[in-house]
Amino acid sequence: MLNKQNISQNSFLNPGTQTEASKPGDKWKISNSLQLSKAQWAEVLIDIYEHPMSFPGSVSPQAGELLRALVVNIAPRNVLEIGSYIGASTIWIASAMSEYERRNKLCCIDLFLPHTDNPWCPGVELIEPLSYIKNNIKKCGFQSFIELYQGDSKDLIPKIAKQIHSTIDFVIIDGDHSFMGCSSDFNLVEPFVSLGGYILFHDTFPDYCGVDGPAITLETKIFTNRDKFEVCQIYTEPLNFGFALLRKVTN
């Protein structure tokens, strides 16, 4: 079994191609495909990645490409994002959902608190992240299928799940990265996930992302429940914060 310990001993644990240590002021490197895309959403994403707050808190552009590719192929009707931050992952997911007709809603939960005192970009503030995201969603023309919910995921997950009147086909968990927070998000959302539906955890390789809540949640809730979930851990560039993709195979 692949657990946190033997992940570190794995003969192929890709550390990511960025070998030098990250420092304040760093930015994510924009992927060529994003740079070359003429889509409005790509332009908006490049703007988001230009924002000093996007590193390292937003999903990297390479991981975003993977997220988009997953959503384009799975074509989920209802998607729930837990942890939107400044909206990079939101726009990646929405860009994918805009490709197919059967979409219903992308519901996004975040505290949307003012961002100040970020050690990665001293002196930079984003006081109204909700307005920043709303504005970007509008620029992309995605407002018809995105709903933003401000508050604690513990309160909002059950409310949203009831409101959708259907199961959720794809969830991304990228909110509170403590074990308590991450496992609570998982416990609350899992009953509402469709049979055959997916849950994607971000920041699953603690050695690289520096937080261990998602890895311990995998260890204690998912690897011990192999009959219920298919699991694949996926390396992500350039720093390998990691994704774990779960598919629910029994109710």
Residues in contact with ligand SAM by CB under 6 A are 57-59, 83-85, 88-89, 109-111, 113, 152-153, 174-176, 181
Residues in contact with 55: Cβ distance below 8 Å, sequence separation at least 6, in sequence order: 22, 26, 27, 28, 120, 121
Beta bridge partners of 193: 168
Contact at 8 Å (CB) between 56 and 63? no
Q: Find the shortest distance in angstroms from Cβ 73 to ligand SAM.
A: 19
Upstream peptide bond of 238 is cis (omega within 30 degrees of 0): yes
Give whichever of 72 and 111 is closer to ligand SAM, judged by the CB atom: 111
Q: Find the shortest distance in angstroms from Cβ 81 to ligand SAM.
A: 7
Other Cβ atoms less than 10 A from the Cβ of 238: the count is 18
Query: How many Cα atoms within 13 Å fall on the side-chain side of residue 228?
Result: 12
Give whichever of 228 and 233 is closer to ligand SAM, judged by the CB atom: 233
Give whichever of 169 and 185 is closer to ligand SAM, judged by the CB atom: 185
Interhelix angle for 129-140 vs 40-50, to 10°?
Answer: 160
Q: Find the shortest distance in angstroms from Cβ 118 to ligand SAM.
A: 11
Q: Find the shortest distance in angstroms from Cβ 63 to ligand SAM.
A: 8
